[in-house]
Amino acid sequence: MLVIFAGTVPLEANGKIEVQRQLFRQASQALKNNQVKKFRGFLARLEDYPLHPYLINDALRRHIHRASADKVSNFLDKYKDFPFSYHVRATWLSSLARKQDWKSFLTYFDNRDNTRLQCLAFQARLHLGQTEELNDQIRKVWMRGYSQPSECDVAFNYFLETDENASSAIWLRIEKAFKARRPNLARYLAKKLNEEDRKIVDSWYRAHRHPQQMLNNLQKIKDNAINRTIVVHAVDRLARRDSIKARDLWQKTVQTFQFSRQQQNMLAQRIALSSAYQHRPEARQLLIELPAALKNDQAFLWLARIQLRTQDWPGLSKTIVDMPEHLQQENEWRYWLARSLELQGFTTRADDIMQSLSGAGNYYGFLAADRVERQYHIEQENAFAEAIDETTMLAENPHMLRARELFFLNRPVDARREWFQALRKLDTTQIKQAATLASSWEWHDSAIKTVAKTSHRKDYSLRFPMPYQQQVLSHAEKKQLDPSVIYGVMRRESLFDPLARSRVGALGLMQLMPATARSVANSLGLDSLAQADILKIENNINLGTQYFRSVMDRFDNNVSLAAAAYNAGPHNVKKWLPKDERILPADLWVETVPFNETRNYVQAVLAYATVFDKSRGKDTLISSRMHDIRADY
């Protein structure tokens, strides 16, 4: 067992650190309440606390627009090694720009990769007459196919008025805008052109909006370079909606215009791949007929999935053998090459592949092990086997010490910034130590992400912890759910971060959308919940397990289908069921789920549940959770 000890002078001596944390909380609340005198009193008592600078930062940010340049300069210089200094500088730069203090703006501007601030720097240089090589720098921002911040307008106007190649730059950006599917930007840019050129852009715009109509009226279009570009764009657009109509119209058009070989190749690839995305029956042949030079990774992958879906085992074997080596060597395609050979009767070769794959501690390794009746390789190996002196390690890495305190004070964004800045200073051995420390603090998501930065994959206690056991086991038992599966869902959803919030608004350990959480709460007779209530561990696990119970009921306790429904919704899963009363093996159904995210999600949940079984002293086969998939549920 790994030992972590505090060292000769523990940070927590006499409970001092906990007292400081409480004072920090009180100081933060006083600042929030604008109780300045009270805040300063707490601040004075925390001078030797590692997070003392964070309180100074919080106070400065509240009134930075009134701060003097000397105060901000001293702050940025004194705390330049703190992650928050980067964000304070951005706030200060915005304040200077509002005051139009352009000289100071350029003094503080650090050439960061932030378009809004870059454009404000362009404005500053224009006001100060510093125009040498300015257009070259503005051009780099101008040439993006997306709308840019309004702060760029001054610089763009200067560029268009003074650059000798401005007209060419306008056309290049219009083309990029159409490629980026920003037709309104292209139309806006066309206002800077003459009337004849505006008509060309208008034609291009109509081709973007109504590609089929435009392609049906090709006799009105002359064969020249710009019109060929417009036609190619129209075919590309139509292919994304209806690949077969695009193919038919392209075959007529290609005889009339002198398209370049590059244009012809691009559309051949686009039509074939779009037909696969749209699950058209013609997709298989279109992908097969692509010239070898046009068969990129996506072409091989889609063809292989089509052959999986149609159970074309000889075709699948050939496609996998023809794949680039880096795809062939992926566990996924090693497994399916073995399965396809097995189903064609080549059992010896299939068994050899399965045997070589069965040692992997992942989804395909577990599936392969089941097929050759071999035990799983899930043996705990500590990432770091020696005792860790926590006090010494934290004393040597202030970022890590501050990260720990920020984590305990429930400031996760600041904690992560400090933590990953700390990791930049560590070698591989120290990173493993850091992961072990984070796990000992029950900062599980950071521990998992940290150990993932190393090649170590066999410390299952770090990578697959089992926090909140009382809640998980209790709710799983009440709802007749497998705790290992619930842990698998939880790890995939949030890495056990109870405060996790996704970009689309999912909340907590089990990443519940607020509407789903409230619907489930209502079904349980609970009051409508605020977001803060949904994030509470007990509530989140209760609601998440109840929702998982509902999708298990919906799909006859089929774990593969329930996991897919938890991720993508029951409606999508219903659409993905086999047709014509066919029954599919679960591994084949999972592999042909059309959403990459959901396919990977189901595989992860099943594999993770297998690992959690091992931690719980159970030897459950992954295949025992993978029941055949029927056409109707």
User: Span 233-242, mean pLDDT?
Assistant: 97
Judge whether 494 and 508 are in contact, CB under 8 Å. Answer: yes
Domains of the chain with CATH codes? 469-625 (1.10.530.10)
162-200 pLDDT, tens digit per residue, is 999 999 999 999 999 999 999 999 999 999 999 999 999
Q: What is the pLDDT of residue 8?
A: 40
User: Span 511-538, mean pLDDT?
Assistant: 94
Contacts of 48 (CB under 8 A, 6+ apart): none
Contacts of 381 (CB under 8 A, 6+ apart): 456, 458, 459
Tokens standing for residue 347: 């059992």
**Percent of the chain whose pLDDT exceeds 70:** 97
Strand partners, 226: none
36-49 pLDDT, tens digit per residue, is 999 999 999 999 99
Using a 10 angstrom Cβ sphere, with 0-12 exposed, 13-18 middle and 19 or more buried, the burial of residue 159 is buried
* Collapsed DSSP state (helix, strand, coil) of residue 504: coil
Confidence check: pLDDT of 10 > 60: no
Judge whether 228 and 236 are in contact, CB under 8 Å. Answer: no
143-163 pLDDT, tens digit per residue, is 999 999 999 999 999 999 999
Q: How far is CA 593 from CA 38, 280, 327, in A?
A: 59, 16, 19
Confidence check: pLDDT of 6 > 70: no
> Residue 327 carries which side chain, given as an amino acid letter?
L
Q: What is the pLDDT of residue 9?
A: 42
Q: What secondary structure, in 3-state letters, does 374-417 show?
A: CCCCCCCCCCCCCCEEHHHHHHHCHHHHHHHHHHHCCCHHHHHH
> Residue 233 carries which side chain, given as an amino acid letter?
H
How many alpha carbons fall within 13 Å on the CB side of residue 36?
4
Judge whether 291 and 272 are in contact, CB under 8 Å. Answer: no
Confidence check: pLDDT of 5 > 70: no
CA–CA dist 318, 295 (Å, integer): 14
106-136 pLDDT, tens digit per residue, is 999 999 999 999 999 999 999 999 999 999 9
pLDDT band of 386, cuts 50, 70, 90: confident
Residue 29: which of 39, 40, 16, 17 has the closest Cα?
Answer: 39
Query: Can you tell me which residue has the tokens 């091989």?
Result: 300
Judge whether 481 and 454 are in contact, CB under 8 Å. Answer: no
CA–CA dist 558, 586 (Å, integer): 10
Confidence check: pLDDT of 92 > 80: yes
CA–CA dist 86, 70 (Å, integer): 17
Confidence check: pLDDT of 75 > 80: yes
Q: How far is CA 319 from CA 276, 294, 340, in A?
A: 15, 15, 11
> Residue 310 carries which side chain, given as an amino acid letter?
T
User: Span 589-596, mean pLDDT?
Assistant: 94
Judge whether 177 and 186 are in contact, CB under 8 Å. Answer: yes
Instruction: Tell me which DSSP letter residue 53 carries.
Output: H
pLDDT band of 382, cuts 50, 70, 90: confident
Contacts of 284 (CB under 8 A, 6+ apart): 303, 306, 307, 310, 312, 315
The four Cα atoms 214, 220, 224, 225 give a dihedral, to 10 degrees, of -10
* Continuous segment of H or E residues that includes residue 10: none
Q: What is the pLDDT of residue 556?
A: 97
The two most distant CA atoms of the chain are separated, in Å, by 88
- Provide DSSP, 181-225: T-HHHHHHHHTTS-HHHHHHHHHHHHHHH-HHHHHTTGGGS--SH
Q: What secondary structure, in 3-state letters, does 281-347 show?
A: CCHHHHHHHCCHHHCCHHHHHHHHHHHHHCCCHHHHHHHHHHCCHHHHCCHHHHHHHHHHHHHCCCH
How many alpha carbons fall within 13 Å on the CB side of residue 198?
9
Q: Could you tell me where the DSSP H helices lie in 397-527?
A: 398-408, 412-423, 428-440, 444-451, 460-463, 469-478, 483-494, 514-523
476-508 pLDDT, tens digit per residue, is 999 999 999 999 999 999 999 999 999 999 999
Residues shown for the chain: 633
Q: What is the pLDDT of residue 4?
A: 56
Contacts of 108 (CB under 8 A, 6+ apart): 72, 76, 89, 92, 93, 96
Return the minimum-mean-pLDDT range out of 21-25, 235-239, 249-253, 320-324. Answer: 249-253
CA–CA dist 275, 431 (Å, integer): 46
pLDDT band of 381, cuts 50, 70, 90: confident
Q: What is the CA radius of gyration of the chain?
A: 30
User: Span 222-246, mean pLDDT?
Assistant: 96
The four Cα atoms 546, 548, 554, 560 give a dihedral, to 10 degrees, of -160
Confidence check: pLDDT of 7 > 50: no
417-457 pLDDT, tens digit per residue, is 999 999 998 999 999 999 999 999 999 999 999 999 998 88
Contacts 24+ apart (CB under 8 A), 571-576: 572/598, 574/633
pTM of the model: 0.91
**Percent of the chain whose pLDDT exceeds 90:** 91
Q: What is the pLDDT of residue 369?
A: 97
User: Span 194-218, mean pLDDT?
Assistant: 94
Average pLDDT of every residue of the chain: 94
539-588 pLDDT, tens digit per residue, is 999 999 999 999 999 999 999 999 999 999 999 999 999 987 789 999 99
> Residue 574 carries which side chain, given as an amino acid letter?
K
* Continuous segment of H or E residues that includes residue 529: none
Residue 364: which of 341, 322, 340, 330 has the closest Cα?
Answer: 330
Confidence check: pLDDT of 220 > 80: no
The four Cα atoms 152, 149, 72, 17 give a dihedral, to 10 degrees, of -160
Return the minimum-mean-pLDDT range out of 10-24, 219-233, 290-304, 332-346. Answer: 10-24
Judge whether 562 and 482 are in contact, CB under 8 Å. Answer: no
